[in-house]
Amino acid sequence: VCMSRCSLKDPLPLLAAGGNTGIGKATALHLARKGARVILACRNRDKAQAAIADIQQETGSTDVLYMELDLASLKSIRCFAETFLKTESRLDLLINNAGTDTHIRTVAPMTVWGGGGGRVVTVSSMAHRWKHIDFEALAANRDLGTGRYSWQFFQAYCNSKLCNVLFTHELAKRLKGTSVTCYSVHPGIVRTELSRHVSLWQRLFIEPVSRLLFLDPEAGAQTTLHCALQEGIEPLSGCYFSCCEVQEVCAQARDNALAQKLWEVSEKLCKL
Protein backbone atom coordinates (compact mmCIF):
# COMPACT_ATOMS: atom_id res chain seq x y z
CA VAL A 1 0.00 0.00 0.00
CA CYS A 2 1.43 3.36 -0.99
CA MET A 3 0.65 6.54 0.91
CA SER A 4 0.40 9.80 -0.99
CA ARG A 5 2.55 12.57 0.43
CA CYS A 6 2.07 15.08 -2.35
CA SER A 7 0.81 18.55 -1.47
CA LEU A 8 -1.13 21.24 -3.27
CA LYS A 9 0.76 24.41 -4.03
CA ASP A 10 -2.45 26.25 -4.90
CA PRO A 11 -6.12 25.51 -4.24
CA LEU A 12 -7.60 23.68 -7.23
CA PRO A 13 -11.13 22.86 -8.31
CA LEU A 14 -11.73 19.12 -8.09
CA LEU A 15 -14.69 17.20 -9.47
CA ALA A 16 -15.27 13.73 -8.03
CA ALA A 17 -17.92 11.57 -9.72
CA GLY A 18 -19.24 9.16 -7.10
CA GLY A 19 -17.58 10.87 -4.16
CA ASN A 20 -20.15 10.26 -1.43
CA THR A 21 -18.93 6.83 -0.24
CA GLY A 22 -15.93 4.52 -0.26
CA ILE A 23 -12.83 5.38 -2.26
CA GLY A 24 -14.40 8.50 -3.74
CA LYS A 25 -15.23 9.94 -0.35
CA ALA A 26 -11.78 9.12 1.00
CA THR A 27 -10.22 10.85 -2.03
CA ALA A 28 -12.41 13.92 -1.64
CA LEU A 29 -11.64 14.13 2.08
CA HIS A 30 -7.88 13.97 1.48
CA LEU A 31 -7.97 16.70 -1.16
CA ALA A 32 -10.29 18.91 0.89
CA ARG A 33 -7.83 18.61 3.75
CA LYS A 34 -5.12 19.89 1.39
CA GLY A 35 -7.19 22.94 0.46
CA ALA A 36 -8.84 21.89 -2.79
CA ARG A 37 -12.28 23.12 -3.82
CA VAL A 38 -14.17 19.84 -4.03
CA ILE A 39 -17.37 19.23 -5.99
CA LEU A 40 -19.10 15.91 -5.35
CA ALA A 41 -21.02 14.87 -8.46
CA CYS A 42 -23.54 12.31 -7.18
CA ARG A 43 -27.00 10.96 -7.90
CA ASN A 44 -28.25 10.89 -4.32
CA ARG A 45 -28.48 14.32 -2.71
CA ASP A 46 -28.98 13.05 0.84
CA LYS A 47 -25.92 10.79 0.73
CA ALA A 48 -23.87 13.56 -0.83
CA GLN A 49 -24.88 16.08 1.83
CA ALA A 50 -24.06 13.56 4.57
CA ALA A 51 -20.63 13.00 3.00
CA ILE A 52 -20.05 16.75 2.76
CA ALA A 53 -20.94 17.17 6.43
CA ASP A 54 -18.44 14.44 7.37
CA ILE A 55 -15.71 15.97 5.21
CA GLN A 56 -16.32 19.46 6.56
CA GLN A 57 -16.29 18.23 10.15
CA GLU A 58 -13.04 16.31 9.68
CA THR A 59 -11.17 18.88 7.56
CA GLY A 60 -12.68 22.21 8.53
CA SER A 61 -13.13 23.00 4.83
CA THR A 62 -16.13 25.04 3.77
CA ASP A 63 -15.36 24.63 0.07
CA VAL A 64 -17.00 21.24 -0.52
CA LEU A 65 -20.05 21.34 -2.78
CA TYR A 66 -22.68 19.02 -4.24
CA MET A 67 -23.88 18.95 -7.84
CA GLU A 68 -26.49 16.47 -9.01
CA LEU A 69 -25.28 13.96 -11.58
CA ASP A 70 -26.90 10.68 -12.62
CA LEU A 71 -24.47 8.85 -14.92
CA ALA A 72 -27.28 6.56 -16.08
CA SER A 73 -29.02 9.54 -17.71
CA LEU A 74 -27.59 11.43 -20.68
CA LYS A 75 -30.02 14.25 -19.93
CA SER A 76 -28.61 14.54 -16.40
CA ILE A 77 -25.04 14.49 -17.71
CA ARG A 78 -25.67 17.26 -20.22
CA CYS A 79 -27.52 19.34 -17.64
CA PHE A 80 -24.66 18.86 -15.21
CA ALA A 81 -22.06 19.88 -17.80
CA GLU A 82 -23.97 23.02 -18.74
CA THR A 83 -24.40 24.01 -15.10
CA PHE A 84 -20.76 23.37 -14.27
CA LEU A 85 -19.47 25.42 -17.20
CA LYS A 86 -21.73 28.31 -16.20
CA THR A 87 -20.84 28.32 -12.51
CA GLU A 88 -17.17 27.29 -12.41
CA SER A 89 -14.31 29.14 -14.09
CA ARG A 90 -12.00 26.12 -14.37
CA LEU A 91 -11.51 22.45 -13.60
CA ASP A 92 -8.08 21.14 -12.68
CA LEU A 93 -8.86 17.58 -11.68
CA LEU A 94 -11.61 15.14 -12.65
CA ILE A 95 -11.86 11.83 -10.81
CA ASN A 96 -14.12 9.24 -12.43
CA ASN A 97 -14.84 7.05 -9.44
CA ALA A 98 -18.54 6.13 -9.68
CA GLY A 99 -19.07 2.41 -10.08
CA THR A 100 -21.41 -0.52 -9.57
CA ASP A 101 -21.29 -4.25 -10.03
CA THR A 102 -24.88 -4.82 -11.09
CA HIS A 103 -26.73 -4.54 -14.40
CA ILE A 104 -27.53 -0.85 -13.97
CA ARG A 105 -26.73 0.86 -17.26
CA THR A 106 -24.28 3.73 -17.11
CA VAL A 107 -22.42 5.72 -19.72
CA ALA A 108 -18.71 6.10 -20.25
CA PRO A 109 -16.70 8.35 -17.90
CA MET A 110 -17.47 12.00 -18.52
CA THR A 111 -14.97 14.78 -19.09
CA VAL A 112 -15.86 18.47 -18.79
CA TRP A 113 -13.17 21.14 -19.00
CA GLY A 114 -13.62 24.78 -18.05
CA GLY A 115 -9.91 25.56 -17.66
CA GLY A 116 -6.68 25.34 -19.62
CA GLY A 117 -5.35 22.08 -18.23
CA GLY A 118 -5.55 19.41 -15.59
CA ARG A 119 -5.78 15.68 -15.02
CA VAL A 120 -8.39 12.96 -15.47
CA VAL A 121 -8.10 9.97 -13.13
CA THR A 122 -10.39 7.01 -13.82
CA VAL A 123 -10.77 4.25 -11.26
CA SER A 124 -10.55 0.88 -13.01
CA SER A 125 -9.50 -2.49 -11.58
CA MET A 126 -7.23 -5.46 -12.13
CA ALA A 127 -10.51 -7.15 -13.10
CA HIS A 128 -10.08 -5.57 -16.54
CA ARG A 129 -7.94 -8.62 -17.38
CA TRP A 130 -10.97 -10.96 -17.17
CA LYS A 131 -12.93 -9.18 -19.82
CA HIS A 132 -14.71 -9.18 -23.14
CA ILE A 133 -16.50 -6.43 -25.04
CA ASP A 134 -19.38 -7.60 -27.20
CA PHE A 135 -19.93 -4.60 -29.45
CA GLU A 136 -23.07 -6.05 -31.03
CA ALA A 137 -24.67 -6.50 -27.61
CA LEU A 138 -23.46 -3.07 -26.53
CA ALA A 139 -25.06 -1.42 -29.55
CA ALA A 140 -28.30 -3.39 -29.19
CA ASN A 141 -28.76 -3.35 -25.42
CA ARG A 142 -26.66 -0.34 -24.36
CA ASP A 143 -24.99 -2.34 -21.60
CA LEU A 144 -21.93 -4.53 -21.03
CA GLY A 145 -23.78 -7.58 -19.78
CA THR A 146 -26.77 -8.57 -17.69
CA GLY A 147 -28.15 -11.65 -16.01
CA ARG A 148 -29.60 -13.19 -12.88
CA TYR A 149 -26.44 -14.77 -11.53
CA SER A 150 -23.43 -13.37 -9.68
CA TRP A 151 -20.95 -14.52 -12.29
CA GLN A 152 -22.87 -12.55 -14.92
CA PHE A 153 -22.76 -9.42 -12.76
CA PHE A 154 -19.03 -9.95 -12.22
CA GLN A 155 -18.42 -10.39 -15.95
CA ALA A 156 -20.21 -7.10 -16.65
CA TYR A 157 -18.07 -5.45 -13.97
CA CYS A 158 -14.88 -6.80 -15.60
CA ASN A 159 -16.04 -5.60 -19.00
CA SER A 160 -16.69 -2.10 -17.63
CA LYS A 161 -13.21 -1.98 -16.09
CA LEU A 162 -11.65 -2.88 -19.43
CA CYS A 163 -13.62 0.00 -20.93
CA ASN A 164 -12.17 2.31 -18.26
CA VAL A 165 -8.61 1.39 -19.27
CA LEU A 166 -9.36 1.66 -23.00
CA PHE A 167 -11.09 5.01 -22.44
CA THR A 168 -7.97 6.37 -20.74
CA HIS A 169 -5.72 4.93 -23.46
CA GLU A 170 -7.71 6.64 -26.21
CA LEU A 171 -8.24 9.87 -24.27
CA ALA A 172 -4.48 10.25 -23.82
CA LYS A 173 -4.02 10.03 -27.60
CA ARG A 174 -6.70 12.64 -28.19
CA LEU A 175 -5.24 14.98 -25.56
CA LYS A 176 -1.69 14.73 -26.86
CA GLY A 177 -0.21 18.20 -27.28
CA THR A 178 -2.51 19.74 -24.66
CA SER A 179 -1.86 20.42 -20.98
CA VAL A 180 -4.38 17.77 -19.89
CA THR A 181 -3.21 14.27 -18.93
CA CYS A 182 -5.09 11.16 -17.87
CA TYR A 183 -4.50 7.95 -15.93
CA SER A 184 -6.41 4.80 -14.99
CA VAL A 185 -5.84 3.12 -11.63
CA HIS A 186 -6.35 -0.15 -9.80
CA PRO A 187 -7.08 0.89 -6.20
CA GLY A 188 -6.52 -2.54 -4.73
CA ILE A 189 -9.17 -4.87 -3.33
CA VAL A 190 -11.05 -2.36 -1.23
CA ARG A 191 -13.82 -2.67 1.33
CA THR A 192 -16.53 -0.43 -0.17
CA GLU A 193 -20.33 -0.40 -0.44
CA LEU A 194 -20.42 -2.28 -3.75
CA SER A 195 -21.61 -5.33 -1.81
CA ARG A 196 -24.92 -3.54 -1.23
CA HIS A 197 -25.90 -4.63 -4.74
CA VAL A 198 -25.61 -8.39 -4.10
CA SER A 199 -28.00 -10.78 -2.41
CA LEU A 200 -28.22 -11.25 1.34
CA TRP A 201 -26.49 -14.64 1.36
CA GLN A 202 -23.63 -13.19 -0.71
CA ARG A 203 -23.24 -10.27 1.71
CA LEU A 204 -23.07 -12.71 4.60
CA PHE A 205 -20.00 -14.21 2.95
CA ILE A 206 -18.40 -11.10 1.43
CA GLU A 207 -18.58 -8.66 4.32
CA PRO A 208 -16.71 -10.73 6.97
CA VAL A 209 -14.02 -11.56 4.41
CA SER A 210 -13.73 -7.94 3.34
CA ARG A 211 -13.32 -6.72 6.92
CA LEU A 212 -10.53 -9.22 7.43
CA LEU A 213 -8.61 -9.05 4.15
CA PHE A 214 -9.58 -6.01 2.10
CA LEU A 215 -8.09 -2.50 2.19
CA ASP A 216 -10.04 0.29 3.81
CA PRO A 217 -11.15 3.16 1.54
CA GLU A 218 -8.35 5.47 2.71
CA ALA A 219 -5.70 2.96 1.66
CA GLY A 220 -7.62 2.28 -1.54
CA ALA A 221 -7.57 5.98 -2.44
CA GLN A 222 -3.78 6.30 -2.42
CA THR A 223 -3.10 5.42 -6.06
CA THR A 224 -5.86 7.78 -7.18
CA LEU A 225 -4.27 10.53 -5.09
CA HIS A 226 -0.84 9.71 -6.50
CA CYS A 227 -2.09 10.15 -10.06
CA ALA A 228 -3.96 13.30 -9.07
CA LEU A 229 -1.12 15.05 -7.27
CA GLN A 230 2.28 13.57 -8.10
CA GLU A 231 4.50 15.98 -10.01
CA GLY A 232 6.39 14.78 -13.07
CA ILE A 233 4.08 11.98 -14.24
CA GLU A 234 2.75 13.90 -17.25
CA PRO A 235 4.82 11.80 -19.72
CA LEU A 236 2.95 8.76 -18.39
CA SER A 237 -0.43 10.02 -19.58
CA GLY A 238 -2.65 7.13 -20.64
CA CYS A 239 -0.92 4.63 -18.35
CA TYR A 240 -2.45 2.28 -15.81
CA PHE A 241 -1.28 2.56 -12.20
CA SER A 242 -1.40 0.18 -9.25
CA CYS A 243 0.29 0.71 -5.87
CA CYS A 244 1.33 4.16 -7.12
CA GLU A 245 3.40 2.67 -9.94
CA VAL A 246 2.84 2.10 -13.63
CA GLN A 247 1.71 -1.46 -14.31
CA GLU A 248 1.46 -3.44 -17.53
CA VAL A 249 -2.04 -4.08 -18.83
CA CYS A 250 -3.29 -7.05 -20.82
CA ALA A 251 -2.91 -7.02 -24.60
CA GLN A 252 -6.57 -6.17 -25.21
CA ALA A 253 -6.36 -3.13 -22.91
CA ARG A 254 -3.57 -1.59 -25.02
CA ASP A 255 -5.15 -2.37 -28.40
CA ASN A 256 -5.26 0.95 -30.29
CA ALA A 257 -7.94 -0.20 -32.72
CA LEU A 258 -10.15 -1.52 -29.93
CA ALA A 259 -9.80 1.68 -27.91
CA GLN A 260 -10.73 3.80 -30.93
CA LYS A 261 -13.71 1.58 -31.74
CA LEU A 262 -15.00 1.77 -28.17
CA TRP A 263 -14.69 5.57 -28.27
CA GLU A 264 -16.56 5.81 -31.57
CA VAL A 265 -19.32 3.43 -30.46
CA SER A 266 -19.65 5.40 -27.22
CA GLU A 267 -20.00 8.64 -29.17
CA LYS A 268 -22.84 7.13 -31.21
CA LEU A 269 -24.60 5.80 -28.11
CA CYS A 270 -24.27 9.22 -26.48
CA LYS A 271 -25.42 10.96 -29.69
CA LEU A 272 -22.31 13.14 -29.82
Residue 200 burial class via C-beta count within 10 angstroms: exposed 0-12, middle 13-18, buried 19 and up: exposed
Active-site hit among 66, 149, 157, 240: 157
Q: Are the CB atoms for 251 and 169 separated by under 8 Å?
A: no
**Is 183 noted as a catalytic residue in this protein?**
no
DSSP for the chain, written as a single string: --------SS--EEEEET-SSHHHHHHHHHHHHTT-EEEEEES-HHHHHHHHHHHHHHH--S-EEEEE--TT-HHHHHHHHHHHHHH-S---EEEE----SSS-----------SS-EEEEEE--GGGGS----HHHHHHHSSS---SSHHHHHHHHHHHHHHHHHHHHHHHHHHTTSSEEEEEEE--SB--GGGGGS-HHHHHHHHHHHHHHSBPHHHHTHHHHHHHH-TT-GGGTT-EEETTEEE---GGGG-HHHHHHHHHHHHHHTT-
User: Phi and psi (nearest 5°) for 93?
Assistant: -150, 125
Positions annotated as catalytic residues are 157
